[in-house]
Amino acid sequence: MSFIRPKLWEIPQPNEVILKSVECLRETLFERLREISSRHTQIKFANSLAVEDMVITDAIVQSGVDIEIFTLETGKLNNETLALTDEIRRFYPDLTLQFYYPERESAEQYQQDFGKYAFYDSVELRRKCCFIRKIEPLNRALKGADAWLTGQRREQSVTRTELQFHEYDTSRQMDKYNPIFDWSEQDVWAYILKYGIPYNALYKQGFPSIGCEPCTRPVKAEEDIRAGRWWWENKDSKECGLHK
């Protein structure tokens, strides 16, 4: 009996109309970044290494705004994701990409108390792992900042449909901006492909949304683009807590 592999998600190929609109989108993004920069003195951008965040990284570099870029190295990232950080250094030789890591003792204690794969057992334990590997390092990364940026988009998830350009992060007592909140998936890929921006090789393997290696899998062509994130959970719980 032969096994037929399901068709996986593929990188969107933007049509001519969208490709022609990219320059306008880019200019609008530059304007948004300049507007944010004019409002604040110390801004930080959390680059998750997703294509959305690569768009914003490129815009920060090309527009010349003074925004610090950092990424959270959770200790559970795919090799392809780690390889992208080397490619970023080559592509943007003048860019300093800061790395923040989980506290070693906390990560080891979690594994000792609950087990190496405890995040599969319950939403509570998964979020506890996310706190140790993502939220606590993010809080450290944002110390001293008066605003931060994300690559979130409304289209990405049922939990993000009301997303706005500007929010107030009450838990961290600072302003928060989502510069491409209103972009479509096609818009993002049109920018990436038109300007030759580096991106994670996993996108070519059916991964439209990429997180930690144990918590991410490829998705079928007809599935939601976030279906591969924490796939064992209800879709309404699929957030790590970074954006509460």
Phi then psi dihedrals of residue 115, to 5 deg: 110, 160
Q: Lay out the sheet containing 166-169: strands in order across.
A: 97-100, 67-72, 43-46, 147-149, 174-177, 166-169
* 240 classed as catalytic: yes
**Own/partner pairs, 162-171, CB within 8 angstroms, 24+ separation:** 165/32, 171/244
49's tokens: 């290494």
Residue among 129, 130, 215, 240 flagged as catalytic: 240
Give the whole-angstrom CA distance, residue 125 versus residue 127.
Answer: 5
Euclidean distance between the first and final Cα of the chain, in Å?
A: 48
Give the whole-angstrom CA distance, residue 102 versus residue 190.
Answer: 34
93's tokens: 């030789």
193's tokens: 């492909």
- Provide the 10 A C-beta neighbour count for residue 42: 14
Active-site annotation, residues: 240
